[in-house]
Homo-oligomer: A and B are copies of this chain.
Amino acid sequence: MEDAAHAPEQSLDLSLDAAALTAALVDIPSVSGQEKALADAVESALRALPHLTVDRYGNNVVARTDLGRAERVVLAGHLDTVPIAGNLPSRLDEEGYLWGCGTSDMKSGVAVQLRLAATVPAPNRDLTFVFYDNEEVASHLNGLGRIADAHPDWLAGDFAVLLEPSSGQVEGGCQGTLRVLLRTAGERAHSARSWMGSNAIHAAAPVLARLAAYEPRRPVIDGLEYREGLNAVRIEGGVAGNVIPDACTVTVNFRYAPDRSEEEALAHVREVFADCGIAEFVVDDHAGGALPGLSHPSAAAFLKAVGGTAHPKFGWTDVSRFSALGVPAVNYGPGEPTLAHKRDERVLASLINDCEQRMRAWLTA
């Protein structure tokens, strides 16, 4: 990790268009854990804007308007990137693609945030801009989560947009994810005298049968069709080639639609395997979903302004951190999700500017 504490501060020119600003952001490397230089540049640029109040917590920067509007909207994006893969500095090709680490995930989104912060001094809704660190690494380091723990009031709002790559399409909420270990028990014996023992792998037969027969729901929430899934992601059992095994563990991952709470999701999984002879039921990991909140007036106005059709988000994302604070949230950003984390990461420059225009239209209508 570089020590950037005494490096000369780099400045950002927020009068550049969103694509050029993206290039400038990409050219300040900010691999997870090394976001200081970029956070300094963002903080400095925002402090130069008299209509914003700026706060900082570690390498997380939060700026807000305080115009007394009826609604407050939060626009959030992470500053960090995955490790650089020989793909810096950025370059713009003849077809209008900007190449480089972080172009899609998600400095193009950050550029849109900064452009809106600089150019919409009197929005029709109060705005909170959140720039956070450590999104690409372990969950407990995640800057948004750490702000939610230390300064939950900084994230207060009626609606939130996370500018993660979504190809300029609105993706509503996200599904929850629950991982449990289902353990069966038996009794060891030599396999030549198997009747002296009890086979824990055979005892897992009802668990696999239940999984194979499971019919996942496809609930429609705020007009979006979610798709649940209940799957074994690991199975392990066995002692030796001639021993009846006394233990077997099936690891099950339940991906559930955001109309279920964490408690309801857990209760559902317990119920599915209730009569399967489970010896031990261990919750390994659990992160709740996020409602799309598209029926909220502010969200409806947003969807109308940016256009297109909203899609459900199946994977778990940071929008659920807003949901946990009672703030409905969507993903909407100019990056291309399928190019995230790739050596040939790039973004269509025109889409960044387009995204900025659509969001400005929504905030100034």
Contacts and interface: CB of A to CB of B under 8 A. Distances in A.
B237 A243 contact: no
A192 B313 CA distance: 9
Interface in A234-284: 234-245, 248, 250-251, 253, 255, 284
Contacts of A234: 201, 237-238, 241, 245
Interface residues of A, number: 47
Interface string A211-247: 1100010000000000101011111111111111100
Copies in the complex: 2
A253 B189 CA distance: 13
A175 B193 CA distance: 10
Given A177-B192, A205-B212, A253-B242, A235 B235 contact: yes
A29 to B, nearest CB: 28
Contacts of A244: 231, 233
A179 interface: yes
A195 B192 CA distance: 41
Query: For the complex, would chain A's binding face be called helix, strand, loop or mixed by DSSP majority?
Result: mixed
Contacts of A149: none
Contacts of A357: none
A314 interface: yes
Nearest to A234: B238
A260 to B, nearest CB: 15
A194 interface: yes
Interface of A: 175, 177, 179, 190-195, 199, 201-205, 208-209, 211-212, 216, 227, 229, 231-245, 248, 250-251, 253, 255, 284-285, 314-316
**Which 3 pairs show the lowest CB-CB distances between chains A and B?**
A234-B238, A194-B229, A205-B208
